[in-house]
Amino acid sequence: MTEKIPAHYGGEPIREDVLGYGSQSIGENEKEAVVEALDGDYITRGPTVEAFEERVADFVGVDHAVATTSGTTALHLAGRAAGFGDGDEVITTPLTFASTAHAATYCGATPVFADIDPHLRSLDPEAVREQVTEDTKGIVPMHYAGQPADIEGLLEVADEHDLTVIWDACHAFGGRWNGEPIGAQRDMVMFSFHPVKNITTGEGGMIVTDDDELAERLRRLRSFDMDYTPEGHEEEPWYQVTEGLGYNYNVTDIQAALGLAQLDRLDDFKRRRDEIISQYDEAFANVVGIRTPPEPTESEPMYHLYAVEIGEGFGCDRTEFVNAMHAENLGVQVHYVPLHYHPYFREEFGYEQGDFPKAEAVYDGLVSLPLHAEMDDADVDDVTTAVEALQTYHTE
Ligand SMILES: Cc1ncc(COP(=O)(O)O)c(C=O)c1O
């Protein structure tokens, strides 16, 4: 006899309100900071953006941070700054959000997928090595769920072939690898500050780098590729010229004020996320058929997602698991439908299902359970109870 009948099979949902898989946490300090910013001289990119950039650069231990309007535009700027263009190939993971590959596609380069290391769920350096051709210009690895990818192995491949590396660290802000913060790795590392990420500015992104020239290019491209003080026009203060195809990816002081206030809470966010992860790990240790996230070895991740794999022995497959959780009002999600399944990448670049068997096998079981700093112990309990009840229903 099971104590709780899963809602999917006729029982009562475990909760009335929906618990999302991710959520922002906005406190009074953030609200005050935003109101204060609105009273400032600038509400577009001004001194608060600069302060936010400096604080992030200090935090990750690099010389430059360039704020932009989203993780997606950060990838676009980074691809442009890296010089990706027509005829170039850029190697990336299929198990990611589409924007990761757009560091290449927005610039006219070809995204070349390589299979993943199923343990870390991110690019396998050996698979990357196999995809390198004379047209390969860069690599865009992604730190899946906040777990650092094989940074050492991937940098080795980049060194062998003189490739630019853009780390998609959208999930990984606040984490560390091998004693150094995520963000300190070459050539560029980018973050997203979307509301479900580790800190938020509403929408927003940031690129960090130690390379002076890349930083200069990123700043120029972010603002129309404009030279505001061109040589030979010193007597004409109005004379500003566009030197190339730039963008308006400027963030506002309002967003930066929110970002600074969120940074003050980063340690608390990490502590709470870690507590929830320990509670999940403990609850699922004896549940057959659930693979929990990898134990970190040389890293201290700040996990953005708690992504499990539903496998043999659980009692139902991933599709049924997701629908059963939704019936309980638990907003689980799947990260991600592999990019080579998407019409855009299939039609434009000729990929098809079957091309990356390891990414596909991981995808088949993947589910992200709710994880965010606003969750209390009762929320965590709802998730673990619902998962246990589902298994019991199927196996007893
Ligand atoms: C891995 C990854 N890359 C890129 C992005 C794009 O970031 P944004 O939503 O800030 O444009 C996201 C966010 O959804 C992401 O998860």
Instruction: Report whether residue 205 contacts ligand 1, using a CB cutoff of 6 Å.
Output: yes
Q: What is the pLDDT of residue 385?
A: 97
Whole-number pLDDT of residue 2 = 47
**Can you say whether residue 17 is alpha, beta or left, with left for phi > 0 and alpha for psi between -120 and 50 degrees?**
beta
CA distance 3 to 392: 9
DSSP state, residue 146? G
308: Cβ–Cβ under 8 A, 6 or more apart, which residues?
Answer: 284, 290, 291, 292, 293, 365, 366, 367, 368, 369
Q: Which amino acid is at 154?
A: L
- So what's the pLDDT on residue 295? 81
Tokens 């929320």 identify what position?
379
Helices (H) then strands (E): counts for the chain: 13, 19
Distance 189 CA to ligand 1 centre (A): 13
In one-letter notation, the amino acid at residue 315 is G
Closest ligand 1 atom to Cα of 194: 10
Instruction: Please give the full DSSP string across 66-113, using - where no structure is assigned.
Output: EEES-HHHHHHHHHHHHT--TT-EEEE-SSS-HHHHHHHHTTTPEEEE
Closest CA to 252 of 26, 30, 50, 28: 50
- Tokens 């400027």 belong to residue: 250
How many Å lie between the centroid of ligand 1 and the Cα of residue 193? 9
Which alpha helices (H) appear in the chain, and where do they start and end?
28-38, 47-60, 71-82, 98-105, 125-131, 151-161, 212-222, 253-263, 266-284, 318-327, 343-349, 357-365, 377-395
> In the numeric block, which tokens belong to residue 56?
């992030």
User: From residue 220, how far is each of 241, 318, 353 by CA, in Å?
Assistant: 11, 46, 40
Residue linked to tokens 């606040």:
174
What is the C-alpha to C-alpha distance for residues 74 and 260, in angstroms, rounded to an integer?
19
Question: pLDDT (tens digit, 0 to 9) for every residue of the chain, 396 residues total?
Answer: 447 899 999 999 999 999 999 999 999 999 999 999 999 998 999 999 999 999 999 999 999 999 999 999 999 999 999 999 999 999 999 999 999 999 999 999 999 999 999 999 999 999 999 999 999 999 999 999 999 999 999 999 999 999 999 999 999 999 999 999 999 999 999 999 999 999 999 999 999 999 999 999 999 999 999 999 999 999 999 999 999 999 999 999 999 999 999 999 999 999 999 999 999 999 999 899 999 998 877 889 999 999 999 999 999 999 999 999 999 999 999 999 999 999 999 999 999 999 999 999 999 999 999 999 999 999 999 999 999 999 999 998
**Is the CB–ligand 1 distance for residue 93 below 6 Å?**
no
Compute, in angstroms, the gap from residue 205 CA to the centroid of ligand 1: 9
| Residue to probe by mutation, ligand 1, list 69, 192, 199, 303, most atoms within 8 Å of CB | 192
100 lines ligand 1 (CB under 6 A): yes
Pairing of strands 122-123, 116-117: antiparallel
Binding site membership of 200 for ligand 1 (Cβ less than 6 Å): no
> What number does the ligand 1 atom closest to the CA of 144 have?
1
Cross-strand partners of 331: 20
The letter for the amino acid at 262 is: Q
7: CA distance to ligand 1 center in Å?
Answer: 32
Report pLDDT for 161: 98
pLDDT for residue 5:
95
Rounded distance, CA 163 to CA 104, Å? 13
Length of the chain (residues): 396
> Of 170, 197, 198, 335, which is best to mutate to test ligand 1, by the most ligand atoms within 8 angstroms of its C-beta?
170
The DSSP result for 151-178, as a single string, is HHHHHHHHHHHT-EEEEE-TTTTT-EET
Taking the chain, what is the end-to-end CA distance rounded to the nearest angstrom? 8
- Edge-first strand order for the sheet with 188-192 is 64-68, 205-209, 188-192, 164-168, 136-140, 89-92, 110-113
Q: Quick check: CB of 97 below 6 Å from ligand 1?
A: yes
User: Is the separation of the CB atoms in 68 and 78 below 8 Å?
Assistant: no
